[in-house]
Amino acid sequence: MAKVKIQGHASGTGVLTVTAPNTDTDRTITLPDSTGTLATTADTTDLDGAITINESGADVDFRVESDTNANSLFVQGSNGAVGLGVSSIGTNDALHIENGESYLVMKDAQQMGIKLYGDDTNVIFSYDKTANSITGGVTWAHADGATDFYTGGLNSRMKIDATGAVTMPNQPAFLVNAGSNTPIALSTDTKVNYSTEVFDQNSDFDTSTQTFTAPVTGKYQFNVQLLWLNWDSGANYYYIQIATSNRTYYELYKGGERSNDVQYSYGHIHVLADMDASDTAFVRITQVGGSVQTYYDSQSIFSGHLVC
């Protein structure tokens, strides 16, 4: 049978001695007379053995205070959730950490990692406490192994599938066609009227102005394929321009390089252009010399996308 013995002195330190059943080993805890606080020497307690709190499973909370926080460690009795720096935890939260600017830190000399377990999709979300809304995150789908990255709320911005293929549904990219056959004026710039969108990912091309506007600063690949009708061999030259806010890119063609007028002729220009956010890009063509007889065909295209 266990025995409890308390000894003390008027000006000394009281001693609580507990002898466990069926053993001659004593368990000693020091009680300083000044405060009566349970402690050992140097204000520590050494408990050598298993400890069970709330073995009956009662709906009661458990908490540990620190010098500045009444809930440094909090275990919620209703669902077993663990909190650090909080006095209550949401229904679906298993771990809640909140204390000013806090970080979850794991450190080890060997391999470190985080494992996420779920039946369908594993999720990490960033949450705006003030707005009470999700600002972004990452999900991993078990069914197909796809990983999705979200920004601006629950908006999927990039997906990596099981094969490693990467798709970005909002990455700026467009392809437009000229709406109709249009004559080219002499010795003046003619802005190509691209009025038909084949696609315009992220909606950066405006068909009303035939202009692409860069949503972010970066390097953009632009491609122009211009189909000329009734090429004039008497023209001094034709040139195509991709005009951007930073600079203009040219491709020059001599009218006399063909001995006779031809019904069809193609012109091309391709460039990797530097663009700042809100810079614009559009296409124009010019004929110098000859007669007004050349058209650009409705199959003429302009395309571009953000590279990096």
Q: Are 297 and 193 within one domain?
A: yes
Q: Are 247 and 283 within one domain?
A: yes
Of 7-21, 56-70, 225-239, 264-278, minimum mean pLDDT range: 7-21
On the question of pLDDT at 248 being above 90, the answer is yes
Domain count for the chain: 4
Establish if 7 belongs to a structural domain. Answer: yes
Cα(254)–Cα(234) distance, integer angstroms? 9
Establish if 274 belongs to a structural domain. Answer: yes
CB 233 within 8 A of CB 260: yes
Q: Are 178 and 225 within one domain?
A: yes
Q: Are 215 and 263 within one domain?
A: yes
pLDDT in tens, 85-113: 999 998 888 888 888 787 888 888 888 88
Six token digits for residue 38: 């349970």
Q: Are 283 and 197 within one domain?
A: yes
Q: Are 241 and 274 within one domain?
A: yes
pLDDT in tens, 161-209: 999 999 999 999 999 999 888 888 898 898 999 999 999 999 999 999 9
Establish if 95 belongs to a structural domain. Answer: no
Last residue of a domain, one of 103, 136, 167: 167
Short-list 300, 292, 243, 235, CA closest to 266: 300
Q: What pLDDT was estimated at residue 2? A: 42
Cα(261)–Cα(254) distance, integer angstroms? 12
Establish if 205 belongs to a structural domain. Answer: yes
Establish if 103 belongs to a structural domain. Answer: no
Identify which has the larger pLDDT, 299 or 23. Answer: 299
For residue 277, CA distances in Å to 156, 214, 215, 219 come to 22, 5, 5, 11
Establish if 146 belongs to a structural domain. Answer: yes
Q: Are 4 and 39 within one domain?
A: yes
Local structure of 116: helix, strand or coil: coil
Identify which has the larger pLDDT, 241 or 130. Answer: 241
Q: What pLDDT was estimated at residue 38? A: 47
Q: Are 205 and 223 within one domain?
A: yes
Categorize the per-residue pLDDT at 40 as very low, low, confident or very high, splitting at 50, 70 and 90: very low
Identify which has the larger pLDDT, 242 or 234. Answer: 242
Short-list 35, 93, 41, 84, CA closest to 64: 84
Q: Are 1 and 20 within one domain?
A: yes
Pair type for strands 82-84 and 95-97: parallel
Q: Are 294 and 243 within one domain?
A: yes
Q: What pLDDT was estimated at residue 255? A: 74
Last residue of a domain, one of 112, 135, 167: 167
Q: Containing domain of residue 75, as a range?
A: 60-88
Q: What is the per-residue DSSP string for 265-307?
A: EEEEEEEEEEE-TT-EEEEEEEEESS-S--EE-TT-EEEEEE-
Cα(63)–Cα(85) distance, integer angstroms? 10
Q: What is the CATH number of the domain that holds 206?
A: 2.60.120.40
* pTM for the model: 0.69
Cα(73)–Cα(93) distance, integer angstroms? 15
Establish if 96 belongs to a structural domain. Answer: no
Q: Are 185 and 206 within one domain?
A: yes
Establish if 94 belongs to a structural domain. Answer: no
Q: Are 178 and 145 within one domain?
A: no
Phi-psi category of 198—alpha, beta or left, where left has phi over 0 and alpha has psi -120 to 50?
Answer: alpha
Local structure of 255: helix, strand or coil: helix
Short-list 49, 9, 51, CA closest to 30: 9
